[in-house]
Structures are given as C-alpha cells and as structure tokens.
C-alpha cells in the first residue's frame, strides 16, 4: 500500500546517494532560490522538494508519469492539500502520544495500541476522502492512489484493526511459549492468544483441574518486579510486532506526506513564476542522444525570483547539435542563458514544468557543471590545477548521453593554452556522445570550432547593439573576434582603455 505518486512501480529513496557533482550543480545553477520558492517558507516542504529534485529521472516515461500527476495536482489543489494535511496531522499526533516506560515491552505495547487507535480514525477519514473524490483525477498516479485507499482500507479491514487492538490489551492473561536458549534462559519467545477467558472463580477452578499437567509457580510477595520482567519477555514478541505495525502505518503517512509534498511544492513554484508573468510548460522529454533540442522563451527562474522583475526569454534551435557554443559581450547574459539551459534540464528530470513557453530536449543521463571558480580551493594547487582537477573529476563521472555545462573553463591560464586544452577536451566529449553547452569569451576557442566545419555545433552570440548596450538576447551567429570588455571599461571608468592595455599582457 504505497502512494506511488513519484514512480509508477517503485519507491522513492531519499537516502540513495545523490549523483556525483550535485553540490557544484546546485551552486552553479543557483538551485537554492528555486528550492526556497518550492518550500514557500515551509522547511519540511523545501527538504522534500530538494530530495526529489536532486534525485533525477532519466527515463522519459517516468518523467511524463510525474507530469500527469503534477497536472492533476494543479487542477485539484484543495483535495491534494486536504490529504497532505491529514497525513501531517496523523504524524503530528503520533508525536504527541507520550509513552511511559517504552523501554519495557508492556509500556511499548501500550503506546503502540494507543497510537494505532488514533491512526484508525485518520485512516477512516482518508478512506472517506477517497470515496468522495473517485473519478476526479486523470493521472495514473492519483487514480492508483484513490483505488488503493478504497480497497486496502475496506470497512472489514478497519473493523479487524479495532478487534486486534482490543485483544492486545490482554484482559485474559498472557500466554507465551519459549524454548531453552543460551545459558538455559528462556529464548525464542512466541505469543499466543490466551484461551483463558476473563471468568469467575468457579470456571477458573475448573480450568486448574483440567490443567493438572501444569506445574504452578505461585508468585511470592516481593517478586512482582521479577514477574513483570518475565511477563515482559513473554509479550516482547507482541510489543515488537505491534510497534512495527505502528511504524508501518506511520511510514505510510510519511510517504503520503512526502510524495504529495513534492507536488504541492511544485505548485508553489508554479504560482510564483506565473505571478511574475512568465510562462511555464510541461517539457517534452526525448530519448537520449542528439535529437530535438528546442526552446522558446527560455529563462532562468532563479534570476526571475531573485530580481522579482522581468527577465529576457531566449529561443534555442539546436536539433541534432552536440555542442552549443555561446560567445559574445561580457555582461551580455551568456551565463544566465547557460544556467537557464541547465535549470530547464534539471526541472525536466525532476518531473517538473520547464521555465519556458516550450521546451523539448533529450533527457540527459547526467548533468554536470564546470564553472570558473573565484578562489583556488585546494591548498597548494594553483588556479589552473584546481580547474583541471575538477574537470578530471567531472570526466570520471561522465557517461555518454550526459550534458556538461562549461562556463569560462580554463580561463585561468593564457588564452592560447586555455583554448588548446578546452578544444581538445570538448571535441573528445562530443565524440564520446556527451552534449556540451559552453560559454566562453575566448575567441581562440570559439574560432577553433567555427573553422572546424563541424555540423553538430550551434553557435549563439550575446547581442550587443552598435552603441554598446546589451539586450541579453542570444542570437544565432558565429563568434566575432573582439570581446566587449572595453565597453564595460568605458561605461565604468567613463573613458576608453589606454593604448598600452590593448596590446595584452606582457610576454
């Protein structure tokens, strides 16, 4: 009895290791802003959103399964929220049930009986919600959930639950069996239903007679603690079984809360983006390899949320391309565009909508980033070495069908050397079936590919008007030989570069 809202036939495992490089990915793509918006101020919800988003899907059909559930959730927000609240209430109430002496079996059993009695009420309400909303949902995920609740929580089953909870109060004594364990202590305990009814003295006497084969121990005064201890061993089996049952029901509520939570978090983000006037769409996940790669009005939702205002959407037409190479003016929106590409892929792989009017892309086997870092992190390593070490790490993780985002990689050495390293590397990646999106201000590098005659490269250029202003639009176009750093210099310093500066660094 599982919600199965995240996977059709599988459980979501938050404890599974995250794909390698997730930490850099989150940092480089600014995913924290996105996850904050999904949480909407609720730490629990944010944690759920984080866990699901960072454990990506790679199967297109698994993605469309979630997309359908997400649509259902957006259309039936109240019902979904109602079930989520109910699960949350059940979990909260369990915490409020105090157990005295839960370090001994009798205390533990007592608490489990109490908690399960509470849960029974929640289960009845859950069943009622399912009954009231039959036929409302269109997705396989929600339809499965509703029908599961109806069949698994039948009236008969719920009554059976009441009956067991009654029996487990042991009104008619405890009957257990044991074998001879280590050191002749009683071991391998089993609990049995006592045949001894709660009865009057006459019947009791009769039973004693009947059981003449039994040897009796009459408890001596002062031995009550010892009896309690032994009786504890005798009911330990029952206490364990019932505590486990309690945990199972609790875990069911937790799964329900978790899985619904993800979609409610998605709805939160959806609302924020729509409120800020930007489009969203369900992306079309394609099979791996170079195939359809198209976007309309693709934007970086993180930037939108942070700036709270208008952002520029960009189009991408890169069907069959393995390398998207973005060049052009500094401060022209290249990095933002790269981030938007990465975020759209991350969101698609989570089963979320995409930050665009439309988005179609192959589902990447893995998404990795290699961004220029401000500081050399490893002590003793130079900046270039630090970059190389990180890149080598990424290559270790890469598999064909992955997507790699390179942002000004190897810019810590001189341009000729940087381009030599990067071009060989990028060619090797593309030839190995990896899709590369690369932002660079290095004309050497861009020109290398422009003159290579390859037909699997899409060139984009950050637009810069004649007067030097930037539109933050990426237009198709081959690289142009001059960077626009001097524009910025002029803007900030109010004067052009000195003549000497243009000759480049000495040596």
Partner 1 sequence: MGFASVLFPAPTRSTEIDAPPVPSSFTDLDFDQIVKAVVVGHDEYRLPPYFRLPLESVDAVIYRQEVFAALDGTPLRETMVHFADRMRSVRAMLTLAEEMRHRYQRRSWLLTAAATYVGTATGLLSELEQAPVTARALVGLRERLIRYIGSEAFETLRQDMTEAQDAIARVRYTLLFYARVIRVRRFEGETDYGEEIASFFARFQQRGGTDHHLEMAGRPAMNRLEQRALDRVVALFPDAFGALDRFCEAHPVWLDELVVRFDREIQFYLAYLGVVRSLRAFGLPVCYPVLSSSKDEAVDSTYDLALALRRLAQSEEAGGAGAVVTNDYRLSGPERIIVVTGPNQGGKTTFARAFGQLHWLAALGCPVPGANARLFLADKVLSHFGWGENLGDMRGRLEDDLVRVRETLAQASDESVVILNEVFSSTTLRDATVLSRSVLAELSRLDALGVCVTFVDELASFDHKTVSMVAGVDAVDPTVRTFKLERRPADGRAYAVVLAERYGLSHDRVKERLAR
Considering only residues 148 through 177, tell me which ones interact with partner 1, judged by CB under 8 A: 152, 160-161, 164, 168, 172-177
Name which of residues 5 to 24 contact partner 1 (CB under 8 A). 11, 13
Q: Does 132 bind partner 1 (CB under 8 A)?
A: no
Given the complex with partner 1, which of 146 and 295 has the nearer CB atom? 146
Quickly count: other Cβ atoms within 10 Å of residue 369's Cβ: 23
439, two tokens: 């932002």
Q: What is the 3-state secondary structure (H, E, C) of 358-394?
A: EEEEECCCCEEEEECCCCCCCCCCCHHHHHHHHHHHH
Q: Are strands 284-286 and 294-298 parallel, antiparallel or unpaired?
A: unpaired
Q: Is 109 exposed, middle or buried (0-12, 13-18, 19+ CB in 10 A)?
A: buried
338, two tokens: 């790269």
223, two tokens: 């031995």
Q: How far is the CB of 181 from partner 1 (least distance, A)?
A: 7
Contact 396/434 with Cβ under 8 angstroms? no
Name which of residues 430 to 489 contact partner 1 (CB under 8 A). 431-434
Longest dimension (CA), the chain: 117
262: CB partners within 8 A, 6+ apart: 5, 6, 48, 49, 52
Given the complex with partner 1, which of 13 and 136 has the nearer CB atom? 13
Q: How far is the CB of 345 from partner 1 (least distance, A)?
A: 20
Q: Does 379 bind partner 1 (CB under 8 A)?
A: no
Q: Does 185 bind partner 1 (CB under 8 A)?
A: yes
Q: Does 33 bind partner 1 (CB under 8 A)?
A: no
Q: Does 227 bind partner 1 (CB under 8 A)?
A: yes
Sign of CA dihedral 201, 206, 211, 216: positive
**Contacting partner 1 (CB under 8 A), which of 32, 121, 226, 501?**
226
b vs e for 449-485, b when ≥16 Cβ sit within 10 Å of the residue's Cβ?
A: bbeeeeeebbbbbbbbeeeeebebbbeeeebeeeebe
In 3D space, the residue among 225, 243, 233 whose CA is nearest the CA of residue 190 turns out to be: 233
**Contacting partner 1 (CB under 8 A), which of 150, 192, 206, 310?**
192
Part in contact with partner 1 (CB under 8 A); list of ranges 90-98, 136-144, 214-222, 342-350: 214-222
Spell out, one character per residue from 320 to 359, where the chain touches partner 1: x when CB under 8 A holds, - when not. Answer: ----------------------------------------
Given the complex with partner 1, which of 93 and 237 has the nearer CB atom? 237
Q: How far is the CB of 452 from partner 1 (least distance, A)?
A: 13
Q: How far is the CB of 23 from partner 1 (least distance, A)?
A: 14
204, two tokens: 């009791």
Name which of residues 396 to 425 contact partner 1 (CB under 8 A). 396, 398-400, 413-414, 417-418, 420-421, 424-425
Q: Does 389 bind partner 1 (CB under 8 A)?
A: yes
Part in contact with partner 1 (CB under 8 A); list of ranges 262-270, 302-310, 381-389, 471-479: 381-389
Q: Does 87 bind partner 1 (CB under 8 A)?
A: no
Given the complex with partner 1, which of 250 and 292 has the nearer CB atom? 250
**Contacting partner 1 (CB under 8 A), which of 100, 214, 492, 498?**
214
């Amino acid at each position: 009895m599982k919600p199965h809202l995240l996977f059709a036939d599988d459980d979501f495992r938050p404890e599974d290791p995250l794909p390698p490089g997730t930490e850099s990915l989150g940092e480089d793509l600014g995913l924290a802003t996105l996850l904050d918006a999904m949480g909407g101020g609720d730490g629990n919800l944010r944690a759920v959103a984080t866990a699901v988003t960072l454990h990506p899907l790679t199967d297109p059909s698994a993605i469309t399964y979630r997309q359908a559930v997400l649509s259902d959730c957006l259309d039936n927000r109240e019902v979904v929220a109602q079930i989520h609240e109910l699960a949350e209430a059940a979990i909260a109430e369990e915490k409020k049930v105090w157990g005295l002496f839960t370090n001994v079996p009798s205390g533990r059993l007592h608490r489990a009986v109490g908690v399960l009695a509470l849960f029974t009420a929640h289960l009845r309400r859950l069943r009622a919600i399912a009954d009231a909303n039959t036929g409302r949902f269109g997705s396989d995920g929600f339809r499965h959930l509703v029908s599961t609740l109806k069949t698994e929580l039948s009236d008969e089953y719920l009554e059976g639950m009441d009956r067991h909870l009654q029996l487990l109060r042991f009104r008619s004594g405890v009957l257990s069996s044991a074998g001879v364990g280590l050191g002749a202590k009683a071991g391998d305990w089993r609990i049995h239903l006592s045949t001894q009814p709660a009865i009057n003295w006459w019947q009791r006497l009769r039973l004693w007679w009947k059981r003449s084969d039994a040897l009796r121990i009459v408890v001596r005064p002062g031995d009550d603690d010892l009896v309690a201890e032994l009786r504890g061993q005798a009911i330990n089996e029952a206490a364990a079984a019932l505590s486990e049952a309690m945990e199972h029901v609790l875990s069911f509520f937790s799964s329900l809360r978790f899985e619904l939570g993800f979609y409610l978090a998605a709805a939160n983000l959806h609302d924020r983006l729509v409120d800020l006037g930007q489009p969203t769409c369900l992306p079309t996940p394609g099979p791996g390899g170079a195939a359809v790669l198209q976007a309309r009005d693709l934007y970086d939702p993180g930037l939108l949320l942070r700036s709270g205002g208008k952002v520029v959407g960009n189009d991408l037409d890169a069907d069959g391309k393995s390398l998207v190479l973005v060049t052009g003016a500094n401060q022209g929106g290249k990095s933002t565009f790269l981030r938007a590409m990465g975020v759209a892929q991350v969101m698609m792989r989570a089963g979320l909508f995409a930050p665009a009017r439309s988005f179609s892309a192959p589902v990447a086997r893995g998404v990795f980033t290699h961004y220029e870092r401000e500081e050399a992190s490893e002590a003793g390593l130079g900046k270039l070495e630090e970059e190389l070490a990180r890149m080598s790490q990424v290559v270790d993780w890469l598999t064909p069908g992955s997507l790699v985002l390179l942002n000004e990689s190897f810019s810590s050495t001189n341009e000729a050397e940087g381009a030599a390293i990067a071009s060989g590397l990028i060619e090797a990646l593309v030839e190995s079936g990896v899709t590369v999106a690369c932002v660079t201000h290095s004309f050497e590098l861009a020109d290398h590919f422009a003159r290579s005659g390859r037909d699997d490269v899409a060139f984009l250029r950050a637009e810069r008007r004649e007067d030097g202003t930037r539109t933050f639009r990426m237009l198709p176009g081959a690289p142009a030989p001059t960077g626009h750093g001097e524009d910025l210099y002029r803007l900030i310093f109010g004067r052009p570069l000195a003549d000497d500066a243009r000759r480049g660094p000495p040596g």
